[in-house]
């Protein structure tokens, strides 16, 4: 799960019990924007992957797969540190 998803969930839960502060509302907007951009980039790569497979362009498909892996790694968050002990 991406770090922004953790914060997005936290802000959503907060707004269920009280009105968000101006700062929290701004953070919520930033999280939503980052999530939308990430989803758009990932969906674009999946669509390119479909086109590559439909045209039997295996080299292109390999490049796209590497790009998807890179995108997914960029936004990975590890487990909390207390699991690592």
Mean pLDDT of all residues in 42-55: 98
| The dihedral formed by the CA atoms of 40, 15, 23 and 38, expressed in degrees to the nearest 10 | -10
The answer to the question of residue 46 being in a domain is yes
Predicted confidence (pLDDT) at residue 21 exceeds the cutoff of 60: yes
pTM score: 0.76
> Integer distance in angstroms from the first to the last C-alpha of the chain?
21
The confidence score (pLDDT) of residue 18 equals: 97
Identify whether 9 is part of a domain.
yes
CB 11 within 8 A of CB 24: yes
Q: What is the domain count for the chain?
A: 1
Q: What percent of the chain has pLDDT over 90?
A: 75
Asked, for residue 33, whether it belongs to a domain, the answer is yes
Model confidence pLDDT, tens digit, residues 51-76? 999 999 999 999 999 999 999 887 77
What are the pLDDT digits (tens) for 23-37? 999 999 999 999 999
Show the domain range for 10. Answer: 3-75
């Amino acid at each position: 799960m991406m770090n922004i998803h953790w914060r997005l969930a936290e802000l959503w839960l907060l707004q269920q019990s009280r009105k968000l502060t101006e700062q929290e509302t701004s953070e919520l907007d930033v999280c939503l924007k980052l999530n939308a951009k990430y989803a758009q980039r990932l969906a674009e790569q999946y669509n390119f992957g479909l086109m590559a497979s439909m045209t039997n362009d295996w080299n292109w498909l390999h490049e796209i797969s590497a790009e998807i892996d890179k995108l997914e790694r960029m936004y990975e968050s590890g487990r909390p540190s207390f699991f690592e002990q």
